[in-house]
């Protein structure tokens, strides 16, 4: 295709000409459910209050994936992503296109590249090892998570990443691996918004590191790109790299901008892996979602609930059963952990589910670094007053909220483990998602998280 003017990723229009994130979310969830659970799909389509009612439908996406042969989870992921990409639009002055069509156009002005090379000595030690046993005992991480970190520590040569290029979308994210990869001496192709303060921080990290940073530059003096509008141009820039890529998805956007960003990045991922099939994928999964969890987590949680103290036993009946309900009422295998947080909203849930779905499908034919990350005190979380208070009081209910620096190092090490020692796709997608989870205790706490959240927030407010 000929060079085209830039556009922007947007929702499809409805019959009244409106572009609605709620309409998109409802349709994508229904389409994802339809191949395996038509009744659940119909229920999603009938949901009139998506902003409040989305919770049960996102839970249904996990429950419907628990088929006897395990294949349903893959069918749901594939149907959901096909629906998303068929519906989303790239809007330009000369018309509307699918995101895949937008990627076929040649960029009108390709990016230049800015490069920063540090001169520090690469780090090979892992300070996390001494904390692993305590985290496992507290139910904060799964044993498989601790085992993975120990294996990387025992093989420090795995941290020599000179054979790869790490393309980080949302490179400045607090939970992203930028500082750790550069500290280990890696080459990072960094993409984030063209904000001077952000890039001053990113470039400062690179200059003091053992690694090499490459960033896109267009015209002005500030590097960066807006993936919602410029993902076709970013894709072209990344394809110019002579290295095997690990494509890391760490970007975030508030409100309805997040599904747009997720859709644009998903289209970019598909395009890059079509052009460069050896491209690996790295994804952080949010702990505040729904997961099918193994029997050990269910048994631990139920034991904690049985051992709860008298104040907790009294609180639940006094609240009419609304507070401190058990995390797993029945000892089923797998258990369903529903840690969705209503305050984060359906746009956040959809964007995060899109990331999970793509990781699920990519593992069938490639290498994927995927793990559930712990709750962390990131700026985006602390900007919500209720979540800030709930996180401050969460430790009283067996949930550890991590410092972002600690959490990002843990997740960077897990990514290295899964890249250096890739595993085959499990016939059941949910078991893949449970490996090496660092959920912060949400899977093993005694109480259903949403029935403890209000009390944690009250405790956090008083503590503050």
Distance CA 339, CA 443 (A): 8
The CB density around residue 114, as the number of other CB atoms within 10 Å, is 17
Q: In terms of DSSP bridges, do strands 112-117 and 89-92 run parallel, antiparallel, or are they unpaired?
A: unpaired
Tokens 């746009």 map to which residue? Answer: 347
The pair of three-digit structure tokens given for residue 222, joined into one six-digit string: 């500030």
Spatial CB neighbours of 317, under 8 Å, sequence gap ≥ 6: none
Torsion over CA of 416, 422, 426 and 429, rounded to 10 degrees? Answer: 30
Instruction: With CA atoms as reference, report the closest residue to 66 among 86, 39, 36.
Output: 36
Residues 6+ apart with CB under 8 A from 388: 381, 382, 460
Report CA Rg, the chain: 22
Per-residue model confidence (pLDDT) at position 6: 79
For residue 364, the surrounding DSSP H or E stretch is none
Query: Which pLDDT value is given to residue 69?
Result: 85
Residue 331, Cα to own-chain centre: how many angstroms?
28
Cα separations (Å) of 108 from 232, 238, 402? 11, 16, 43
Q: Mark 400-437 as b/e (b = at least 16 C-beta within 10 Å).
A: bbbebeebbbbbbbbbbbbbbeeeebbebbbebbbbbb
DSSP for 395-455?
Answer: GGGT-PPBPHHHHHHHHHHHHHHHHHS--PPPSSHHHHHHTT---TTTTTSSB-HHHHHHH
Q: What is the pLDDT of residue 106?
A: 84
Residue 186 tokens, joined: 């890696």
Q: Are strands 280-285 and 187-191 parallel, antiparallel or unpaired?
A: unpaired
Contact assessment for residue 245 and residue 165, using Cβ atoms and an 8 Å cutoff: yes
Report pLDDT for 15.
81
Dihedrals φ, ψ of 285, to 5°?
-95, 135
pTM confidence score = 0.96
Contact of 140 with 438, CB cutoff 8 Å: yes
Asked if 83 contacts 32 with a C-beta cutoff of 8 angstroms, the reply is yes
Beta strands in 131-256 (DSSP E): 164-169, 187-191, 212-217, 244-249
Calpha distance 25→317 (Å, rounded):
36
How confident is the prediction along the chain (464 residues), in pLDDT tens digits per residue? 455 567 999 999 988 889 999 999 999 999 999 999 999 999 999 999 999 999 999 999 999 999 888 899 999 999 999 999 999 999 999 999 999 999 998 888 899 999 999 999 999 999 899 999 999 999 999 999 999 999 999 999 999 999 999 999 999 999 999 999 999 999 999 999 999 999 999 999 999 999 999 999 987 789 999 999 999 999 999 999 999 999 999 999 999 999 999 999 999 999 999 999 999 999 999 999 999 999 999 999 999 999 999 999 999 999 999 999 999 999 999 999 999 999 999 999 999 999 999 999 999 889 999 999 999 999 888 888 888 999 999 999 999 999 999 999 999 999 999 999 998 889 999 999 999 999 999 999 999 999 999 999 998 877 65
Res 3: pLDDT: 53
In whole angstroms, give the CA distance from residue 144 to residue 133: 12
**Cis omega before residue 223 (within 30°)?**
no
């Amino acid at each position: 295709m000929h060079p085209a003017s830039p556009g922007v990723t947007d929702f499809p229009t409805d019959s009244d000409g409106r572009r609605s994130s709620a309409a998109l979310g409802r349709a994508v969830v229904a389409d994802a459910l339809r191949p395996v659970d038509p009744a659940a799909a119909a229920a999603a389509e009938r949901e009139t209050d998506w902003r409040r009612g989305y919770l049960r439908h996102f839970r249904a996406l996990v429950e419907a994936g628990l088929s006897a042969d395990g294949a349903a989870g893959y069918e749901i992921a594939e149907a959901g992503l096909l629906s998303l990409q068929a519906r989303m639009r790239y809007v330009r002055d000369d018309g509307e296109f699918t995101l895949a069509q937008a990627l076929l156009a040649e960029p009108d002005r390709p990016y230049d590249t800015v490069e920063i090379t540090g001169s520090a000595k690469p780090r090979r030690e892992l300070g996390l090892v001494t904390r692993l046993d305590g985290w496992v005992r507290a139910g904060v991480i799964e044993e498989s998570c601790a085992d993975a970190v120990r294996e990387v520590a025992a093989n420090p040569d795995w941290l020599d990443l000179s054979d790869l290029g790490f393309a980080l979308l949302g490179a400045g994210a607090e939970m992203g691996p930028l500082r750790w990869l550069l500290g280990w001496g890696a080459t990072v192709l960094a993409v984030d918004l063209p904000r001077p303060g952000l890039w001053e921080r990113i470039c400062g990290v690179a200059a003091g590191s053992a690694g090499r940073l490459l960033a896109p530059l267009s015209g002005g003096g500030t590097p960066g790109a807006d993936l919602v509008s410029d993902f076709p141009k970013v894709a072209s820039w990344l394809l110019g790299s002579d290295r095997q890529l690990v494509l890391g998805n760490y970007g975030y956007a508030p409100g309805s901008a997040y599904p747009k960003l997720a859709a644009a990045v998903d289209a970019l991922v598909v395009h890059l892996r079509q052009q460069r099939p050896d491209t690996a994928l790295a994804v952080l999964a949010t702990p505040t979602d729904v997961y099918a969890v193994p029997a050990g987590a269910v048994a631990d949680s139920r034991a904690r609930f049985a051992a709860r103290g008298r104040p907790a036993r009294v609180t639940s009946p006094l609240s009419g059963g609304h507070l401190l309900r058990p995390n797993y009422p029945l000892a089923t295998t797998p258990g369903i952990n529903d840690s969705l947080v209503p305050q984060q909203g359906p746009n956040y849930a959809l964007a995060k589910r899109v990331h999970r779905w793509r990781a699920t499908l990519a593992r069938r034919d490639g290498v994927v670094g995927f793990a559930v990350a712990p709750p962390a005190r990131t700026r985006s979380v602390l900007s919500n007053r209720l979540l800030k208070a709930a996180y401050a009081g969460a430790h009283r209910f067996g949930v550890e909220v991590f410092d972002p620096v600690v959490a990002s190092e843990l997740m960077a090490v897990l990514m290295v483990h899964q890249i250096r020692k890739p595993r085959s796709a499990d016939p059941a997608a949910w078991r893949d998602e449970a490996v090496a989870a660092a959920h912060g205790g949400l899977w093993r706490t005694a109480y259903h998280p949403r029935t403890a959240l209000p009390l944690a927030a009250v405790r956090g407010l008083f503590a503050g």
